[in-house]
Structure 1
Amino acid sequence: MSQVIVVGGGLAGLSAAHTLLERGANVLLLDKQGFMGGNSTKATSGINGAGTQTQQEAGIPDNAKIFFEDTKKSARELARDDLIRVLTGRSGDAVNWLQDKFGLDLSKVARLGGHSQPRTHRGNAQFPGMVITYAQMERLEDLAVSQPDRVKIYKKSRVTKLLKDESGAVTGVEYVRNGKTETAYGPVVLATGGYAADFTGGDSLLKKHRPEYYDLPTTNGDHCTGDGQKIAMAIGASAIDLEKVQVHPTGLVDPNEPDAKVKFLAAEALRGVGGLLLDKNGDRFVDELQHRDYVTGKIWENGKYPIRLILNGQASSEIEWHCKHYVGRGLMKRFDSGEALAKEMGIKPEYLKKTFDTYNAGVKAKKDPFGKKYFSSGEWSMNDYFNVAIMTPDGKPISGLFASGEVAGGVHGANRPWWFTTSAIVEKAGGRLGALVGQFESKPATSSASTQPAATSDVAKHNKKDDIWVIVNGQVLDVTSFLPDHPGGEKAIILYAGRDATEEFNMLHDPKVIPRYAPDAVIGTLKK
């Protein structure tokens, strides 16, 4: 059987790999990071699908045609209908596939910005992007061990060049691994993501196509430097929509580092459960569930900073995992009353109450001054608790070359209202690969490191970037060398340097993550 090369280990690449394996191909997955997952692990709102089993059980009258119309309206005239039909038409099957093949819990459905129906799926625990990505990642790694003749995964392997034959067809890739340049042969699926963190030098795609965004912060991982687009264009591929860089309206500002270049994304679900956006005066200025580009535009147009995203008690309880996560990272702050919130904002409590009362009246009359159509239940009251965060807007086909996920242009147009698994588009590519239809570096599940008992005071001494220990479930970990490979970014670990990170870790990870991906980090146990 022929080998297909998948470049990129995020959700797009993992979904591509699993789909190709189901179709009988062998797979070599190359990822330039030391830990797969990409930006997909950061997706905290959910995954969209129309006509899913979950929707049917909940009595939600959604279908692919409605999803197509929502997406077409969001993208306006700039997107390709044929690609939108593939994605929306197979979206329900994609969500069902994740549930059936990987046993994932996607039993909750919410309506987010740009959607006319509740279709954003997530489960009861943890964050959906991480759960979905880890499930696919772990299954693929298991296959790499049990069927090494069919699945190979090479991490820290950066693809630098696409190889072509005399006819111009792509025949493989050139990549750098362990300091050596190597080659691999077969059709290529690019799943390298976007370029919104391309703050590189003269060849920066962001600086070339949207220079006005170059100085904005980004919520993308620093791996998003347009590698796939660059190597494809280097062999004559025509790019599309490179100027369509989306500015997300709600990036979380860390009060300790307000000017940091990289931000955490405030999940769309925070607005989907009923969160309100208020300016510095305590006024609403936009329908919080409008398309991202619209909300971003209204933030800039309003200009009364800081902009705050505010969740009342009901909204907070509905998305408790997110609130705990953001509060734990210092990106969100809890207030026990409306009066305390008003004091923080520097406005009179009576004025904040008026804002709440006006919103409540609009919900009751189903007539919002900003055109909001979909409301969460429950009234806003000053006698409630609130979770609050400060916001910032953040040609000719080439044979043998395919694209999956964000690297593929022509779908989003001027905007996108959804986060989406890419198995549907890979299915389409897989059909064309039908006729065409190397070893995972496995670490042992146990650590060879010393496991001597350590006191909390010992751990506290190791609290610098070049020397970080943390405590997780009674184990002491030296995570210094793991910083560059952490899919959530190094800041997420540095925040807990010299401290107990158990609660935050357990919110996000399955216990087997440490023995599977960082066994050598365990250096001891906590003294009782």
Structure 2
Amino acid sequence: MANVIVVGGGLAGLSAAHTLLERGANVILLDKQGFMGGNSTKATSGINGAGTQTQQELNIPDNAKIFFEDTKKSARDLARDDLIQVLTGRSGDAVNWLQAKFGLDLSKVARLGGHSQPRTHRGGAQFPGMVITYAQMERLEDLAVSTPDRVKIVKKARVTKLVKEGDQVVGVEYEFNGKTETAYGPVVLATGGYAADFTADSLLKKHRPEYYDLPTTNGDHCTGDGHKMAMVAGAKGIDMEKVQVHPTGLVDPNEPDAKVKFLAAEALRGVGGLLLDNTGKRFVDELQHRDYVTGKMWENGKFPIRLVLNGPASKEIEWHCKHYVGRGLMKRFESGDALAKEFGLSPSVLKKTFEDYNQSVRTKKDPFGKKFFSGEWTYDDTFHVAMMTPVLHYTMGGLEIDQASHVIDTNGKPISGLFACGEVAGGVHGANRLGGSSLLGCVVFGRVAGDSAAAYLLQATSAAVAKAGGRLGAIAGQVSGSSPSSSSSAPTTETKQESNASGKAFTMAEVSKHKSKQDVWVVVNGEVLDFLPDHPGGEKAIMLYAGRDATEEFNMLHDPKVIPRYAPNAVIGKLKN
């Protein structure tokens, strides 16, 4: 079978690519960054699934109907029922697919805000978004090496235009190495959202100007490229004003006004974390929908607002706490008195806050309406604490799609040869997305788009053989074994390289001198890396450890093979003992 062009290397694009390969299609994946993964790698809470094998083993009485109702309620009845049914009805299968096909550990299940059942799956280590996305990314890159006739991956390829013949999308134009290239085939857009669109033609400023100056959790690649090029080609955008502001962005005490912020996983509140204002008091049900909690933070207005985890909650999500502490975004306190000092309050204030909360736990009657509790609090305990601020996080608006992920035009009809999945697709989440449904939407609609694009390709090539003309005829020729003149000449990705280390050794004192944005050295597992800030976690993720030993933090996040696989040329030598 001929090529399908997948635009975007995040979880949605990867899920579409793997599904296309399962269906017999060939894949050209174009990603505008120098690395794949996108925002999917940053997802910290997990992936939703109803009726999964894991839930059954844990005796959680969940099903797609309950999940549908929770999603519909969160969406404020503004999402389409048919798309919610696809999302929730295929959620269990999506989680099971990840476990079976990629061997992932998704054995822990949490209840996030707006969910009536625990259904957000994660494993025992590392951020689930990173684990899930890297598993798919590595598998696809291996296939690009072992079967280059079926998989091509082109990084730093910025798609600028959809190529059309009449009403059909037949390929894309993209910029690569300073040249304009063309790749032919049906197109799956998986380009993400626009919650970091601060460009001249910003969709964010156009549709939600009041949010334009807020900080964001998104990488700078999230500028709505897919939305813009598709709408130029006749696609309809829907719900574009529906932009989610997440309540818990982490405030770095050293850079409180930073435009890009790390996200405090919703799972921290899911395991029992409390939000306290600067008077040491609660002001909201911590497990309410994201837009509700954000609204209450602004309404209360008593900043800084802190997220506080007690000992049991910290233990339940220990890895996250260690990660945030390591980044200097969270502090650990060994007693209630130390916590009160951090707040600048009398110990009696926090004691009363805890006792009031414990009364809610006992009676199940909470003044803020909380229904799900994780046990009582004691003042004589350990605590993890971080300051919070609302942040731009997710864009529910996007290209209108149908149940099969076909992109719909302004006349209400599918655009032949064009599909969308993930955050670029609108109408799935309505006014407010539930936590844990971002990764889910990527996997579910990525698989749907892959199925639909493969079926379209088969039908189109069959029709083209009959007509024996036009670009689709050339594509059909590829299927029948003639010269692939219409396929992209894009190179396959290079996934295995040799290190450029030359046996040099450096002292820690030498490493510490290299900590500017143009000259970043970092030590990892005894190796010295000259690591410019071209990194999936963004510039800040590297600059935090510039001139330092980042071994502990690196090993918390990554498998040891990441450096030899993705950054071998960054290794410049060893660290002297």
Q: TM-score range by the shorter chain?
A: over 0.9
Listed as ranges, the matches of 1:483-522 within 5 Å are: 483-484=533-534, 486-522=535-571
Listed as ranges, the matches of 1:174-213 within 5 Å are: 174-201=173-200, 203-213=201-211
Deviations 1:269-320 (A, max 9, x none): 0100100000000110100000000000100111111110001111111111
The residue matched to 2:158 in structure 1 has which SS?
strand
Q: Distance in 1 between matches of 2:266 and 2:321?
A: 13
Question: 502-511 or 444-453: which moved more?
Answer: 444-453
The residue matched to 2:76 in structure 1 has which SS?
helix
Query: Unaligned regions of 5+ residues in structure 2, if any?
Result: 392-409, 459-489
Q: Distance in 2 between matches of 1:474 and 1:431?
A: 45
Amino acid at match of 1:388: V
Could you say which residue in structure 2 is the equivalent of 1:524? 573
In the superposition, relative to structure 1, how do residues 323 and 356 fare at CA in structure 2: closer, same or farther (>3 Å)? same
Q: Distance in 2 between matches of 1:497 and 1:440?
A: 32
CA contact (8 A) 2:16 2:448 kept: no
Query: Unaligned regions of 5+ residues in structure 1, if any?
Result: none
Could you say which residue in structure 1 is the equivalent of 2:457? 436
Shift of 1:446: 2.8
Q: Distance in 2 between matches of 1:235 and 1:207?
A: 22
In the superposition, relative to structure 1, how do residues 237 and 255 fare at CA in structure 2: closer, same or farther (>3 Å)? same
Residue 119 of structure 2 is aligned to residue 119 of structure 1? yes
Listed as ranges, the matches of 1:252-263 within 5 Å are: 252-263=250-261
Residue 526 of structure 2 is aligned to residue 474 of structure 1? yes
Shift of 1:435: 4.2
Amino acid at match of 1:170: V
Deviations 1:86-144 (A, max 9, x none): 01000000000000000000000000011000000000111100000000000000000
Q: Distance in 2 between matches of 1:429 and 1:37?
A: 18
- Determine which of 396, 399, 413 is the counterpart of 2:430: 413
The residue matched to 2:245 in structure 1 has which SS?
coil
Q: Distance in 1 between matches of 2:452 and 2:253?
A: 50
Q: Distance in 1 between matches of 2:202 and 2:13?
A: 23
CA contact (8 A) 1:198 1:205 kept: yes
CA contact (8 A) 1:148 1:439 kept: no
Q: Distance in 2 between matches of 1:40 and 1:198?
A: 17
Shift of 1:431: 4.1
Could you say which residue in structure 2 is the equivalent of 1:305? 303
Deviations 1:125-173 (A, max 9, x none): 111000000000000000000010000000000000001102x111100
Shift of 1:468: 1.2
Could you say which residue in structure 2 is the equivalent of 1:465? 517
Q: Distance in 1 between matches of 2:250 and 2:449?
A: 37
Could you say which residue in structure 2 is the equivalent of 1:152? 152
Could you say which residue in structure 2 is the equivalent of 1:66? 66
Deviations 1:370-417 (A, max 9, x none): 11111113x211111111111011133211111010000001111011
Amino acid at match of 1:415: N
Q: Distance in 2 between matches of 1:424 and 1:467?
A: 41
Q: Distance in 1 between matches of 2:75 and 2:105?
A: 30
Q: Distance in 2 between matches of 1:72 and 1:334?
A: 38
Deviations 1:54-107 (A, max 9, x none): 000111111111100100011022100000000100000000000000000000
Listed as ranges, the matches of 1:86-105 within 5 Å are: 86-105=86-105
Shift of 1:464: 1.6
Q: Distance in 1 between matches of 2:443 and 2:129?
A: 15
Q: Distance in 2 between matches of 1:518 and 1:427?
A: 30
Listed as ranges, the matches of 1:295-374 within 5 Å are: 295-374=293-372
Could you say which residue in structure 2 is the equivalent of 1:49? 49
Shift of 1:492: 1.2
Q: Distance in 2 between matches of 1:196 and 1:46?
A: 20
Could you say which residue in structure 1 is the equivalent of 2:400? none
Give me the identity figure in percent.
Answer: 79
CA contact (8 A) 2:8 2:30 kept: yes
Q: Distance in 1 between matches of 2:283 and 2:85?
A: 34
Residue 386 of structure 2 is aligned to residue 389 of structure 1? yes
Could you say which residue in structure 2 is the equivalent of 1:11? 11
Listed as ranges, the matches of 1:165-176 within 5 Å are: 165-166=165-166, 168-176=167-175
Q: Distance in 2 between matches of 1:99 and 1:427?
A: 15
Q: Distance in 2 between matches of 1:306 and 1:498?
A: 31
Shift of 1:321: 0.9
Could you say which residue in structure 1 is the equivalent of 2:274? 276
Shift of 1:32: 0.2
Question: Between Structure 1 and Structure 2, how many residues are aligned?
Answer: 522
Could you say which residue in structure 1 is the equivalent of 2:417? 400
CA contact (8 A) 1:79 1:414 kept: yes
Point out 4+ residue stretches in structure 1 off by more than 4 angstroms: none
Residue 84 of structure 2 is aligned to residue 84 of structure 1? yes
Could you say which residue in structure 1 is the equivalent of 2:475? none
Give the TM-score taking structure 1 as reference length: 0.97
The residue matched to 2:246 in structure 1 has which SS?
coil
Question: 338-347 or 403-412: which moved more?
Answer: 338-347
Shift of 1:425: 2.1
CA contact (8 A) 1:219 1:263 kept: yes
Q: Distance in 1 between matches of 2:438 and 2:114?
A: 12
Residue 243 of structure 2 is aligned to residue 245 of structure 1? yes
Could you say which residue in structure 2 is the equivalent of 1:423? 443
CA RMSD across the alignment? 1.1
Q: Distance in 2 between matches of 1:490 and 1:426?
A: 28
Q: Distance in 1 between matches of 2:170 and 2:501?
A: 43
Could you say which residue in structure 2 is the equivalent of 1:233? 231
Q: Distance in 1 between matches of 2:507 and 2:205?
A: 49
Question: 304-313 or 413-422: which moved more?
Answer: 413-422
Q: Distance in 1 between matches of 2:526 and 2:446?
A: 43
The residue matched to 2:573 in structure 1 has which SS?
strand
Amino acid at match of 2:438: W
CA contact (8 A) 2:500 2:570 kept: no
CA contact (8 A) 2:142 2:495 kept: no
